[in-house]
Structure 1
Amino acid sequence: MDRVIEKKKWNAKKIMLTAGIIAAAGIITYIIVNRNTGLAQTVDPERITISEITEGNFRESIPVTGIIMPQTTIYLDVTEGGRVEERYVEDGAMMKKGQPILKLGNTDLELSLASQETQVYNVLTQMNISKNNATQNTIAKLNQMADVDNALKEAERMYKLNKKLYEEKVIGLQDFQQTENNYNYQLRRKKLTDDILQRDGESVQLMQSQDRESLTKMQNTLALMRKKVGDLIVRAPIDGQLTSLDAEVGQLKNKGERLGQLDVVNSYKIRADIDEHYISRIYTDLKGEVNISGKKYILRVKKVYSQVTNGKFQVDLEFTDAVPENLRRGQTFQISLALSDETKAILLPKGGFYSSTGGNWIFKLSKDGKKAFKADIQLNRQNPQYYEVMGGLQPGDKVITSGYDNYKGVDELNL
């Protein structure tokens, strides 16, 4: 007869045994995985850069790219529009002040000049006619004044004579009063003639003054018109090199349009673009240096442009002492711009490690130089060669400063 066999259940001993086996398998797997992922990795010392921590003079600076520009640039703009009739020089020519560059033609402007010259001529003619008329009028009044003076003298003579005769009873009262009345009349006539002559003189002076003022204004306008016509011949305002000349014979140029520029080639400056992060730390008289043809030149910040474009602002730097020879507009150079004075500091040479660690840690070599371990560090300022170390490293320590792209997840390097 068949009997039912009961299924055996898991007991505590079997459960603990199974759990131990699983844990052992996990530990073995963990060791294998870690060994394969590289927590400890062997590297060839010849493939890495090992640098030594030192103590020395440190000055915070930033590298910026600068472009050579003339110290002075004069822009040539069209003052009066016209068509290019003649071009005397080519782009890049060395110019002397006053030397003609090109000629523009403007018929309307030349007709306006001719019209203004005619107006001035007409005014001069009218002034001469008015002056002649005034002179003739004055002569007539002077002749009249002479007649009045003569009549007054005669009346005065007769008055004095008849007065004496009347007092001596030689003539009657009627004759005396007649000469007295004539004398008083001539006095009034003399006074009136003097007033008329004086007012006439003042009127002539006022008229002549107004005519001269009007003529002066018209002559000034004529001089301005002549200058405008003269400006149709574009001349070099200073000695320098003509650059960016944009004008061809027959081309129409409008008023205010840019023709080109004139560079003063005996002095240069460098214009540099700087990240806006440093805008509060850049000011005039900051020092910098640039290496040109193997020689260092000292620079000084001359001007700071506060406008920020595409995350950058510009500064102009000038050479403080010697100026390099054979500089050309548009050349670019790497400049080291100092942001602080020189101080003593612990120095860490720059390297590719920073892009992977952000300056928070670095591989530091053991004393025997056979291993390298992760070490937390604190960095502060920097310049193109060094970081300033604030903690985690001491002078004499050796570290790996090359890139860490191949050491992700690695805590130890075997050299």
Structure 2
Amino acid sequence: MDRELSATTKQANKRRRYWQIGIALAVLVFAVLGFRTLITPSISHEVLRTAVVERGPVVATISASGVVVPEQELVITSPIQARIEQVLLKAGEHVKPGDQILLLDRAFTQLAYDKLKDEQQLNQHKSVQLRLNLRKTLNNLASQLAIKQLKVKSLQAQLEDEKYLLKIGGTTQESVKQAELNLKIAQQELTEIQHDMATERELLKADEQELGYTLAMQGRSIEELQRKMEQAEVRATHKGVITWVKNETGSTVNAGDVIARLADLSSYKIKATISDTYADQLKVGSSATVRINEIDLQGTISSVEPTVTNGIVTFYVALQDKAHQLLRPSLRADVYVNTASRSDVLRVKNGPYFTNYSGQHVFVVQGDAAIKKEVTVGVSNVDFVELENGVQPGDVIVISDMKEYEHVQKLKIK
């Protein structure tokens, strides 16, 4: 028959069960913690790039590719159709005003020049002939005029005589009328001669004006050809460096063909290209930053080409320091066009994390772990990213590429 356990035994059994439950719970907790430790991903501290959240300005930019070009480049074209006779200087050589770069054969232009000179002399001779012919014609008319004037005076005297004779009965009325008619005819002929003389003078004036216009045009053509022949000795008009020259001796060039380029290397500008997606954000006068070998140069957009070529827009940046020692022709540069500006915001250095991920969270380093926190990303540029909320100044943010840990809330840093 069973006996009832004593109180001491019952108390011992209860303590034993408590110990068993406690040990079981401890084992369970350690198991859970160990499992969580096993499943929590970790990352090496050596591969992490971090940056500290701070306050400061952030200027939003769009990136473009640029190349340094001379601010002023003189394009020299052939003044005439000619053959390249001699190339005296090569690309890369420094020149000063008056230095001859190459020589064009000007034989064909010389023939045209000589022909115009001969035509001008012929027209000048025509002008002399016109004056001589007019003088001869006017002399003849003057002689006729003098004769007519004498005849008019004679007929006037005859008319007076006829009137006197009619008064004394020595002639008839018909004789008087005939004398009056003869006088009127002579006076009309005298008037015609006077008109002819005036007309001849007007004709000479018109012919001289026409010849004058012809001589003036020929004179300008002669001066132009003379200037072109002088330009055939292709010379530099400014101090600079030859960036290109057509050095094919014996080849033929047409009037207007580019035969040399001369650059002034004392000042530069930036020729930049960007996708036409950003065309509406390019405004003349907008500020821009040009980065060359980690050195930033400030400037403004001076012009934007109106045409789009293969989806690319070209624009030019005028630099504040146009003669900076870093600037060299054809040197590559990064161009950042400013589109917006924030003066006093929370910011962190830009890095691969923000380049490869556009989400609204970051990893904040806390002790030996990186904790994911929700943030709002604002404007950015190549140097800084604005974080509108979710972090505080002094927080350490992971800025290295974390794309493979997007699904993780916490990372252990080893």
TM-score relative to the length of structure 1:
0.77
**What pairs with 1:177-326 in structure 2 (closer than 5 Å)?**
179-290=179-290, 297-320=297-320, 323-325=323-325
**What pairs with 1:125-136 in structure 2 (closer than 5 Å)?**
125-136=125-136
DSSP 3-state at the match of 2:354: helix
Confirm or deny: 8 A CA contact 2:134 2:201 kept in the other structure.
no
The residue type paired with residue 247 of structure 1 is N
Aligned to 2:342: 342
For residues 335-359 of structure 1, what are the alpha-carbon distances to aligned partners after superposition, in whole Å with 9 as ceiling and x for unaligned?
4432113333221322222355444
CA distance in 1, matches of 2:371, 2:226: 84
**More moved, 88-97 vs 337-346:** 88-97
DSSP 3-state at the match of 1:60: strand
User: Structure 1 residues 149 and 297, CA, compared in 2 at 3 Å: closer, same or farther?
Assistant: same
DSSP 3-state at the match of 2:41: strand
CA distance in 2, matches of 1:219, 1:51: 77
Aligned to 2:386: 388
For residues 170-226 of structure 1, what are the alpha-carbon distances to aligned partners after superposition, in whole Å with 9 as ceiling and x for unaligned?
777677566545433322221222222222323333333333334444444444444
2:373 to 356, 372, 375: 375
The residue type paired with residue 66 of structure 1 is G
**More moved, 194-203 vs 89-98:** 89-98
Confirm or deny: 8 A CA contact 1:39 1:412 kept in the other structure.
no
CA distance in 2, matches of 1:155, 1:265: 93
Name stretches of at least 5 consecutive residues in structure 2 with no aligned partner.
Answer: 1-30
User: Structure 1 residues 405 and 81, CA, compared in 2 at 3 Å: closer, same or farther?
Assistant: same
Q: RMSD over aligned Cα, in angstroms?
A: 3.6
Confirm or deny: 8 A CA contact 1:39 1:410 kept in the other structure.
no
User: Structure 1 residues 401 and 297, CA, compared in 2 at 3 Å: closer, same or farther?
Assistant: closer
Confirm or deny: 8 A CA contact 2:377 2:386 kept in the other structure.
yes
CA distance in 2, matches of 1:258, 1:322: 27
CA distance in 2, matches of 1:117, 1:53: 83
For residues 224-256 of structure 1, what are the alpha-carbon distances to aligned partners after superposition, in whole Å with 9 as ceiling and x for unaligned?
444444443334355543321122433333444
TM-aligned CA deviation for residue 145 of structure 1: 0.9
Aligned to 2:72: 72
The residue type paired with residue 109 of structure 1 is T
User: Structure 1 residues 278 and 137, CA, compared in 2 at 3 Å: closer, same or farther?
Assistant: same
**What pairs with 1:96-115 in structure 2 (closer than 5 Å)?**
96=96, 99-115=99-115
CA distance in 2, matches of 1:277, 1:38: 48
TM-aligned CA deviation for residue 58 of structure 1: 1.9
For residues 119-165 of structure 1, what are the alpha-carbon distances to aligned partners after superposition, in whole Å with 9 as ceiling and x for unaligned?
33333333322331222111111111112122222332443355346
TM-score relative to the length of structure 2:
0.77
CA distance in 2, matches of 1:306, 1:172: 100
Confirm or deny: 8 A CA contact 2:292 2:334 kept in the other structure.
no
Q: How many pairs does the alignment contain?
A: 382
DSSP 3-state at the match of 2:245: coil
TM-aligned CA deviation for residue 318 of structure 1: 1.0
CA distance in 2, matches of 1:176, 1:408: 136
Aligned to 1:400: 398
DSSP 3-state at the match of 2:340: coil
TM-aligned CA deviation for residue 391 of structure 1: 4.3
CA distance in 1, matches of 2:74, 2:63: 30
The residue type paired with residue 341 of structure 1 is S
**What pairs with 1:148-159 in structure 2 (closer than 5 Å)?**
148-159=148-159
Identity over aligned pairs, percent: 19
The residue type paired with residue 202 of structure 2 is E
CA distance in 1, matches of 2:317, 2:411: 46
DSSP 3-state at the match of 1:184: helix
The residue type paired with residue 242 of structure 2 is L
Aligned to 1:15: none
For residues 321-345 of structure 1, what are the alpha-carbon distances to aligned partners after superposition, in whole Å with 9 as ceiling and x for unaligned?
6742574322333344321133332
Confirm or deny: 8 A CA contact 1:39 1:411 kept in the other structure.
no
CA distance in 2, matches of 1:174, 1:364: 140
